[in-house]
Amino acid sequence: MEGGESMLEENYEIFYGAQEKSTRDEVDPEAWRIVDEYVAEHPGGQEQLIPLLHRVQGKIGYLPFPIQEYVAEKLGMSPVEVYSVVSFYHFFTTTPRGRYQLKVCMGTACFVNNAQTICDILGDLVGLEVGGVTDDRLFSLEQVRCIGACGLAPAMMVNDEVHGHLTPKELRKLIRKLKSGARRQEEGGPE
């Protein structure tokens, strides 16, 4: 990969489409260490792909192009094979997500109970449109099909935690709590 562009970089648009291109230098240095450490601790080949991708995404929040290429190299796979797995499974993402992933349910029960209004209010509170991530990577906002909490409509998830019977007042309170927790953690205290 050193000394010039790789075949995948030359064909970036073919493999990755409109995905935002990032360079090797823009990737969190911790990601490279995670890949190397995991491969050293778990010898094998492509059977290690999904656990490794989970580990990297768990640390940096997404799977950028240079990491996918590096993982492919380390596991003896082609970059296209890695990308096909990343793009197939909904739990992997090639774009950065926020520390707090706000996922508004748009399933039937939530939709008829004003889920779109909830999504719009959330977007205003954190300054995002659906699919976006704040500059500080604290929040990302998504609409999802169903979270299986129809009895709590309108509902959303913050990472893996379900919040239901949402009102504008409760949304403002929740966002204040998340921002406050993030500030405390940055200052070295408990979240």
Q: Which amino acid makes up residue 62?
A: Y
Q: Where are the domains of the chain?
A: 7-88, 100-186
Reported as a single tens digit per residue, the pLDDT across 136-166 is 989 999 999 999 999 999 999 999 899 999 9
Q: Which residue has the higher pLDDT, 22 or 135?
A: 135
Determine whether domain 7-88 maps to CATH 1.10.10: yes
**Contact between residue 156 and residue 117 where contact means Cβ atoms under 8 Å apart:** no
How big is the CA angle at 127 (ends 16 and 23), to the nearest 5 degrees? Answer: 30
The answer to whether the peptide bond before residue 154 is cis (omega within 30 degrees of 0) is yes
Is the model's pTM score more than 0.85? Answer: no
Separation CA 184–CA 159 (nearest Å): 19
- Average pLDDT taken over every residue of the chain: 87
* Residue 95 to residue 97: CA distance in whole angstroms: 6
Q: Could you read off the pLDDT of 97-141 as tens digits, one per residue?
A: 888 999 999 999 999 999 999 999 999 999 999 999 999 989 999
CATH 3.40.30.10 fits 100-186, yes or no: yes
CA-to-CA distance for 181 and 184, rounded, in angstroms?
5
